[in-house]
Amino acid sequence: MKFYSCGPLKGEVTVPGDKSVSHRGVMFGSIAKGTTEIHNFLQGADCLSTIACFRQMGIEIENHNDTVLVHGNGLRGLKKPDGTLDCGNSGTTARLICGILSGQDFSCTLTGDASIQKRPMKRIITPLSQMGAKLRSLRDNGCVPLEITGTKLHSVSYASPVASAQVKSAVLLAGLYGDGITQVTEPYVSRNHTELMLRCFGADVRTEGTKAVIHPAEELYGQNILVPGDISSAAFFIAAGLIVPGSEILIRNVGINPTRNGILKVCKSMGADLVLLNENQDAGEPTADILVKSSSLHGIEIGGAVIPTLIDELPVIAAMACFAEGETVIRDAAELKVKESNRIEVMVRNLSAMGADVTETEDGMIIRGGKPLHGAVLESKSDHRIAMTFAVAACLADGETEILGAECVNISYPGFYKDLERLKKQAFTN
């Protein structure tokens, strides 16, 4: 797909529902009693993989686009699937489902696409095995395909070496089937959607700083869920609005959960003209409209506790830093290497191809802003966030930018290019 530099972006956009919250709605609804109604569900390929997996385990799920109805069968009501469960490209599906499958009374196998087959699953195999679960990497490489044999689980206190909501959530979900109190501590707080939503479903779960604690459950109960707009999708319009001169974009109804909103803090520190309007709250998930206006940005250091709160936004933050004055240092972000692609390597390669001054480091990158970017032919590596990042960078790059494999945005934001184009056109007609 080809992209060209553009004038100011203007207008309003409503980004699709949050991916993390949509996944969890289907998963928790499936193991709850009664019907769970999910509104503003993200119809991206990742969340559809979660629906397909639970349907295969006998859960009736009605997908009416905006609204999804999950007719749960209770905590012990899943059925042994006929074939292999396929997580597609979705790490959240793969890791969280293992927590649930560990506590069932059947065995099954789990696989995914080429990218998922390379992503580390040992990080959940280790704690789940400590709980007594039986998970076997069939190629003995710590990745899917995995064979999971459900069994009786023991509760543990697990100190996770990584700040990962997927690891934390897998252990907490297994903890629902445990024989006592299960605890997970992580180096920094990761996104807390599991804790917030499980509480609504009736689980006894609480958090103390970086520790999450859960008790075994008798039953969970179906809920009504209103999914906020995904801040990880909004991030592309935040960045575009800030860097393209003369832009003004209002992004409606975005989830601004403090464990996810690091991008807002970073943009503010870089000098962004960004305001929150119509702040609201539903089931513990805060939302707001975000108004961004093009701004003169300056480089900053990004590292430590803020990293898990903006981990998926780092590619577009790196692109934004190319248009900021001075140096931006991203550190403590080695997790980027094990996402849908090695996002440090891919970002550095693609930004360099566009003429940016960027250096790869062990756990991040250093970007010296101010060098003009030019178009190039770029590999998305089938990574949705990389494709969207470079569609944004192309707005300010001289000449033609071609993104290979651009259709991978279907994973989290099927209508992304249309929305971006509309904001470009709206500016033209204003």
Instruction: Specify the residue, 166 or 294, whose C-beta has the smaller distance to ligand S3P.
Output: 166
Instruction: Specify the residue, 20 or 294, whose C-beta has the smaller distance to ligand S3P.
Output: 20
CA atoms within 13 A on the CB side of 42: 32
Catalytic residues: 312
- 320-337 exposure pattern, b = at least 16 Cβ within 10 A, e = fewer: bbbbbeebbbbbbbebbe
Instruction: Specify the residue, 285 or 312, whose C-beta has the smaller distance to ligand S3P.
Output: 312
User: Positive or negative, the Cα torsion across 265, 267, 271, 275?
Assistant: negative
Instruction: Specify the residue, 92 or 182, whose C-beta has the smaller distance to ligand S3P.
Output: 92
**Measuring CA to CA, which residue among 83, 19, 52 is closest to residue 231?**
19
Q: Using the rule CB under 6 A, is 165 a contact of ligand S3P?
A: yes
State in angstroms the smallest separation of the CB of 387 from ligand S3P.
Answer: 15
Residue 196, Ramachandran bin (φ over 0: left; ψ between -120 and 50: alpha; else beta): alpha
Instruction: Specify the residue, 24 or 424, whose C-beta has the smaller distance to ligand S3P.
Output: 24
Footprint of ligand S3P on 78-137 (CB under 6 A): 92
Tell me the sheet residues that pair with 148.
108, 135
Instruction: Specify the residue, 164 or 253, whose C-beta has the smaller distance to ligand S3P.
Output: 164
Is cis: bond before 372, omega within 30 of 0? no
User: Are 30 and 54 a contacting pair, CB within 8 Å?
Assistant: yes
State in angstroms the smallest separation of the CB of 23 from ligand S3P.
Answer: 6
Q: Using the rule CB under 6 A, is 166 a contact of ligand S3P?
A: yes
- What residue has token string 């993989």? 49
Q: Using the rule CB under 6 A, is 309 a contact of ligand S3P?
A: no
Torsion of CA 153, 157, 160, 164, to 10 degrees: 70
Give the x-and-dash track for 330-369 against ligand S3P (CB under 6 A): -----x----------------------------------
Q: Using the rule CB under 6 A, is 311 a contact of ligand S3P?
A: yes
User: Which one of residues 312, 313, 383, 419 is an interface residue with ligand S3P (CB under 6 A)?
Assistant: 312
Tell me the window of 69-77, 160-168, 252-260, 421-429 that interacts with ligand S3P (CB under 6 A).
160-168
Tell me the window of 51-59, 161-169, 348-356, 390-398 that interacts with ligand S3P (CB under 6 A).
161-169
Tell me the window of 27-35, 143-151, 164-172, 218-226 that interacts with ligand S3P (CB under 6 A).
164-172
Tell me the window of 30-38, 57-65, 159-167, 198-206 that interacts with ligand S3P (CB under 6 A).
159-167
User: Are 304 and 332 a contacting pair, CB within 8 Å?
Assistant: yes
Residue 311 CB neighbour total at 10 angstroms? 21
Cβ partners under 8 Å of residue 385, min gap 6: 232, 312, 315, 316, 339, 340, 343, 412
Instruction: Specify the residue, 169 or 253, whose C-beta has the smaller distance to ligand S3P.
Output: 169
Question: Residue 147 is encoded by which pair of tokens?
Answer: 């064979």
Residue 332, Ramachandran bin (φ over 0: left; ψ between -120 and 50: alpha; else beta): left
Tell me the window of 163-171, 238-246, 258-266, 401-409 that interacts with ligand S3P (CB under 6 A).
163-171
State in angstroms the smallest separation of the CB of 205 from ligand S3P.
Answer: 15
Q: Using the rule CB under 6 A, is 164 a contact of ligand S3P?
A: yes
- What residue has token string 């701004």? 295
State in angstroms the smallest separation of the CB of 335 from ligand S3P.
Answer: 6
User: Where does this chain bind ligand S3P (CB under 6 A)?
Assistant: 20, 92, 164-166, 169, 190-191, 311-312, 335
